[in-house]
Structure 1
Amino acid sequence: MLNSDMSRLHAPPSASSAPASARETATPAGSGPAQDPLADVLNLVRLTGALMFLVDASDPWCVDIPHTNAYRAILADPGQHVLSYHVVLEGSGLASIPGEAPIRFNRGDVLVFPQGDGYRMESAAGTPPEFSAEEVVDFFENLTAGRLPSIVPEGGGGDPRALFLCGFLSCDARPFNPLLARLERRLLVSPSERTDDSLQRLIDITRTEIQSDQPGSRSVRLHLCELIFIETLRRHVLSQAPASEGWLGALTDPVAGAAITAIHADPASDWTLERLARQINTSRTVLTERFAGKMGQGPMQYVTSWRLQLAARQLRDSRSSIAEIAWSVGYRSEAAFSRAFKKMAGMSPGAWRRIG
């Protein structure tokens, strides 16, 4: 079990020990009304729509999407991560990633590839891909530059046909993105009776926007790309996540989810394992076991990781001093904060700020 005394090294300082400018201007990160952890994470990791298009596929069809290393520079800022999803509007097929068996998808499903793996989508097993990896990368470059239409024909011209709404997004992966931590390499999110038609409405609007191609359409499509992804995550949380590991699974666990919500509501608080367990009315043993079982890390490790992600955003977006930022996320000293930040991010807070 983690030593609760160790967590006090990162406890928020008293007002008198904080930097003078911090006492006057800084607000502890996350203070105020109780937070929505999913909204917190999506905002903090700068989830941004990068590309949105329709694929009209005729039988037989197959496409190999290479690992995001091959095209990340086209769709994202340096150092960012790229993930993708595909909404199945019509038809069915198979989806596979290296090292795992193919899965079948059908109309209404959403396939999500969150970890950047290469993947194959095809009408039937053994169908040869129509384009090489180099041609796929060229396609991304030309579509992003506006040199290609946003409705893409593919395949051999036969029936049955399939229609996909394809979205690619960028986000921050460092120093800590809880959404990506322990998330499966491939998600299949199917329609659920427990969800309303919010996702379908977004899909219909996006499809119309792509087909109409009005002025300003690209900007609208990229915002819709983000909204569809968020709504897909919400559907996943409501349906499949309770049985899954990772951060989304932890959100729906009564113990781990309550702990995450408490931490996000006040990350700079003087958290110890005992205090956090008392806050959510459980024992330290149960808290540690349930949290680690979902997240693969203990609750106090999560406190540290989340504080440092909050600090990373402030370093990039604010003009506060490093000492002020350290105080706002719960560190007594700038030196302790800098050591922890460098351990997680691989560079000092100052270096992180300089690279933007």
Structure 2
Amino acid sequence: MRPDALSDLLRAVRIRGAVFYHVNCRSPWSAESPPVGEIAGIVLPGCEHVMEYHMLARGHGWAAVQGEPPVRLGAGDVVLFPHGDGHVMSSAPGVTPIRREADWVFATRDTPKPMAVAFHHGVVEPGTLPAFEIDTEIMCGFLGCDARPFNPLLAALPRLLHLPAAQAGDTVGRVIDLAVAESDAARPGSGALLERLAEMMFVDAARRHLDSLTDDASGWLAGLRDRHVGRALALLHAQPQRDWNVDDLAREAGLSRSALHERFEKLLGDTPMRYLANWRIQLGARLLRDTRAPVAAIALEVGYDSEAAFSRAFKRLTGQPPATWRRARAQAVVSSAR
């Protein structure tokens, strides 16, 4: 397989998905979600960064974040809020929303998920409406990932990411249909399957956003799409342990040293070697968290010639030595499981 920097990054930052609410609505309806930071510890404990998403199984609606125009949604559409913004989902702009308070999320945290929720005429209640009364059906959930030490994808995504069904073929439609079916059936293993579906939907969203970027776009995804910078990123991700220098990287990417440096900074706001250093630390952080390998072994695996060099670089980016960072993450996992 050819190098795939997007897959590498998604693996390194540990995407986690969940489908929490199976919402059925009768117009008029409107629901306001708080900034996800207010409920992140309840819905996905232990995740550094949490974002919310909605998949429309049928009907239509509108999605809006403050400061931006509302977006119309149709059946098969997906909308994500990658930066965790508070937002409103509604049958039409201007309908007074019911706010989903953090206390309500906390009070229902032990209810089996996905939890059925009904919205109708200013009323929200657990359960479902009679089938003939439902005009809109939505699967709602959350995605979590690591934000630190290094996750350039988050900054490359907009506050509201709308993925129209018309641009997705029938792939996402099948995912939404399967999510609804699994939610209704509540069979053994449904929870795990729904988590994987949410994760698959996010990967598809990132790819579709990449494909939709304009020629003047910047950011990590724009760099990935660029012929030469994308090649350089693929090389750095495929061989992070290699003793890279800008001359070697530029030659293999098909540019001069100065051209690669300029293009990299223009698209990513970073230099190739600084990007490599940050990527090595992210890989090292994953190994510290997920394995019991000694720090010295991890240092060599991610491209440092000594434990001391790795520790200095790790502390510069995270503020902590590797061993301290590892202990803190282990304690956080224990705390989130209580």
1:309 paired to 2:282: yes
CA distance in 1, matches of 2:11, 2:233: 16
RMSD of the TM alignment (CA)?
2.5
Give how far 1:149 is off: 6.1
Q: Secondary structure of 2:19's match?
A: strand
CA distance in 1, matches of 2:324, 2:181: 45
1:320 partner letter: A
Q: 2:148 is matched with which residue: 165, 174, 190?
A: 174
Give how far 1:253 is off: 1.6
Q: TM-score, normalised by structure 1?
A: 0.82
CA distance in 2, matches of 1:325, 1:203: 40
Q: 1:234 is matched with which residue: 197, 203, 207?
A: 207
Deviations 1:2-49 (A, max 9, x none): xxxxxxxxxxxxxxxxxxxxxxxxxxxxxxx75322221221111112
CA distance in 2, matches of 1:274, 1:69: 43
Give how far 1:68 is off: 1.7
Decide which moves more: 341-350 or 160-169.
Answer: 160-169
1:83 paired to 2:51: yes
Gaps of 5+ in 1: 1-32
Q: Secondary structure of 1:179's match?
A: helix
Q: TM-score, normalised by structure 2?
A: 0.86
Give how far 1:170 is off: 1.4
- Taking a change above 3 Å as real, the CA distance of residues 217 and 142 of structure 1, as seen in their structure-2 partners, is farther
- Taking a change above 3 Å as real, the CA distance of residues 293 and 190 of structure 1, as seen in their structure-2 partners, is farther
For 1:189, the equivalent position in structure 2 comes to 163
For 1:29, the equivalent position in structure 2 comes to none
1:152 paired to 2:117: yes
Decide which moves more: 144-153 or 199-208.
Answer: 144-153
- Taking a change above 3 Å as real, the CA distance of residues 291 and 58 of structure 1, as seen in their structure-2 partners, is farther
Q: Secondary structure of 1:180's match?
A: helix
For 1:208, the equivalent position in structure 2 comes to 181
- Taking a change above 3 Å as real, the CA distance of residues 199 and 126 of structure 1, as seen in their structure-2 partners, is closer
Q: Secondary structure of 1:181's match?
A: helix
CA distance in 2, matches of 1:191, 1:299: 36
Decide which moves more: 305-314 or 329-338.
Answer: 329-338
1:165 paired to 2:139: yes
Decide which moves more: 306-315 or 242-251.
Answer: 242-251
For 1:298, the equivalent position in structure 2 comes to 271
CA distance in 2, matches of 1:43, 1:162: 34
CA distance in 2, matches of 1:149, 1:280: 46
Gaps of 5+ in 2: 123-131, 330-338
Q: Does the CA contact (< 8 Å) of 1:54 and 1:210 recur in 2?
A: yes
CA distance in 1, matches of 2:253, 2:91: 49
Give how far 1:257 is off: 1.2
Same amino acid, percent of matched pairs: 41
1:64 partner letter: E
Q: Secondary structure of 1:95's match?
A: strand
1:276 paired to 2:249: yes
CA distance in 1, matches of 2:218, 2:25: 34
Q: Does the CA contact (< 8 Å) of 2:3 and 2:234 recur in 1?
A: yes
2:227 partner letter: P
- Taking a change above 3 Å as real, the CA distance of residues 261 and 116 of structure 1, as seen in their structure-2 partners, is same
Decide which moves more: 74-83 or 263-272.
Answer: 74-83
Q: Which runs of 4+ in 1 moved over 6 A?
A: 157-160
1:257 paired to 2:222: no
1:345 paired to 2:330: no
